[in-house]
Amino acid sequence: MRRTRAALAGALIRLVAERDLSRISVADVAERAGVSRSTFYDHYRDVHELAEAACTAMIDELIGSLPSPGPGSADPARDAARSLEAFFASLAEHAGLYRALLGPQGSARLADHIRRRVTEGVYDRVRRASGDLGDLGGLPERAGPPQGVPYGTPHDVPAAFTAGALIGVASDWLQRGCPCSPAEMAALTWPLLGALYRVDAGAPA
């Protein structure tokens, strides 16, 4: 089952590099993956569901590969900045797929998944780069989650703000055809986050 899903995702990714997602049919994907249409439907309802699954898997893989934000990090600010660059690089690698799913007619499910994973993978690193996990960059205490509620919950206003801002910037960048490189996007975005959390906001090295 896992091999079939991987084959279908790989087929879709190759097809999106050739034409818009809206022009790709189940038959196209099945043929490229070397499986029958009935096999496709054993796993997914339609191409859109496959696209969502492929993107969420890629985002999960990205977050899992980011530098650890733990106390052992030699340079948490650099880790946070590099996490931003890796985030944009992952989107750019499959820009056609993300453009379709994060656009005006895109996938709310994928956008929500990316928000949650960005909170885990980028926001926490930015907070750690501030050097004081309890500070929240000078934001009022009420902006954080209630006592006992972990970061990453809907009550965490700074996390929601950061994730929403990054999704907005990324979506706009994708819709414009990625005019800046991932490194340039990280360099443009990092000072904004650095200012919010009072981190040294120099461009990522």
The pLDDT tens digits of the residues spanning 4-32 come to: 999 999 999 999 989 999 899 999 999 99
Query: Do residue 92 and residue 32 come from a single domain?
Result: no
Whole-prediction pTM value?
A: 0.74
Query: Do residue 140 and residue 173 come from a single domain?
Result: yes
Total domains, the chain: 2
Asked if pLDDT for residue 174 goes beyond 90, the answer is yes
* Mean pLDDT value across the chain: 79
Distance CA 38, CA 133 (A): 51
Query: Do residue 27 and residue 55 come from a single domain?
Result: no
Query: Do residue 39 and residue 52 come from a single domain?
Result: no
Higher local confidence (pLDDT), 184 or 82: 184
Domain assignment of residue 205, yes or no? no
Query: Do residue 37 and residue 105 come from a single domain?
Result: no
CATH of the domain at 187: 1.10.357
pLDDT of residue 146: 41
Which residues have a Cβ under 8 Å from the Cβ of 46 and sit 6 or more positions away? 26
Query: Do residue 86 and residue 109 come from a single domain?
Result: yes
The confidence band for 141, taking pLDDT boundaries of 50, 70 and 90, is very low
Range of the domain at 4: 1-44
The residue type found at 118 is V
Domain assignment of residue 93, yes or no? yes
Domain assignment of residue 124, yes or no? yes
What six digits make up the tokens of 116? 């949650």
**Rounded mean pLDDT, 156-184:** 88
Nearest to 13 by CA among 83, 101, 110: 101
Q: What angle do CA 167, 153, 187 make, to 5 degrees?
A: 30
pLDDT of residue 69: 53
pLDDT tens digits, one per residue of 120-135: 777 776 666 665 444 4
Cα distances from 124 to residues 121, 134, 152, 156, 187, in angstroms, run 6, 12, 9, 12, 18
Domain assignment of residue 83, yes or no? yes
The secondary structure of 23-71 as a DSSP string is: G--HHHHHHHHT--HHHHHHH-SSHHHHHHHHHHHHHHHHHHHSPP-ST
The confidence band for 136, taking pLDDT boundaries of 50, 70 and 90, is very low
CATH of the domain at 34: 1.10.10.60
Domain assignment of residue 125, yes or no? yes
